Copies of this chain bind each other. A is one copy, B any other.
Amino acid sequence: MTKGATQGAARRRGRRPGGTDTRAALIDAARAVFIEQGYDGATVRAIAAKAGVDAAMVNHWFGSKEGLFAEAVLKLPFSPHELAERLLDGDVDNLGQRIVRTFLTTWDTTGGGVFTALMRSITSHELAAHVLRDFLIKHVAGQVLKSVGIDHHEFRATLVASQLVGMGMVRYVAQFEPLASTDVETMVAAVAPTIQRYLTGPIS
């Protein structure tokens, strides 16, 4: 991912032992190990061993296991840590807006191809859904919701996931019009109140 490589450059300064071959090998190994072992079960050591490189290369190229997952499996142009920080930077009452805006600007940039590939992996069981769940719900949404200090974290996180996944399916995969080509701010106005209620509003 050129974009990931560029934005993540700060983590990869200095000499580049193993070069881009090492990086590509780690991404291939990571996909295999995450799918076999699950997100929590996969270790940096096991991924590095499968790639035939030193475990220090993971931190060198990806910052952390999270960063490697985000880039190898989700192909996100930022780390989940950066994502959580960006979402939490501002008023909690506008969190829904920031989530919808970030989701759409990120996936719109790639034309939705990466999102479609991700959904295809899940529906065809190439990517075990629980790997994605552990990562998204526990490690990203869980973090955000803990900071918000609200009840029913995990149910709220899965409700948020339901609206975001569905928005991506309709916009990028099925491409139902007019939603598929509606501008980002119109989408934010329509969908952010849903996300905000799932995060901090009444849900029962």
Contacts and interface: CB of A to CB of B under 8 A. Distances in A.
A9 interface: no
A102 to B, nearest CB: 17
Interface in A56-99: none
B163 A162 contact: yes
Interface stretch (A17-25, A142-150, A184-192): A184-192
A120 B122 CA distance: 9
A49 interface: no
A169 interface: yes
A200 interface: no
A154 B177 contact: yes
Binding site of A, secondary structure by majority: helix, strand, loop or mixed? helix
B170 A169 contact: no
A30 interface: no
Nearest to A119: B123
Nearest to A194: B194
Contacts of A179: 155, 158-159, 161-162
Interface residues of A, number: 44
A170 to B, nearest CB: 4
Given A197-B194, A203-B189, A155 B129 contact: no
Interface in A112-167: 116, 119-120, 122-124, 129-130, 132-133, 137, 154-155, 158-159, 161-167
Interface of A: 116, 119-120, 122-124, 129-130, 132-133, 137, 154-155, 158-159, 161-167, 169-171, 173-180, 182, 186, 189-191, 193-194, 197-198, 203-204
18 contacts: A120-B120, A129-B175, A129-B176, A133-B174, A133-B177, A154-B177, A154-B178, A155-B179, A155-B182, A155-B190, A158-B178, A158-B179, A161-B170, A165-B169, A166-B167, A186-B204, A193-B197, A194-B194
Q: Sorted from nearest, which 8 A-B pairs have the closest CB atoms? A: A166-B166, A158-B179, A129-B174, A120-B123, A162-B166, A190-B203, A165-B166, A162-B170
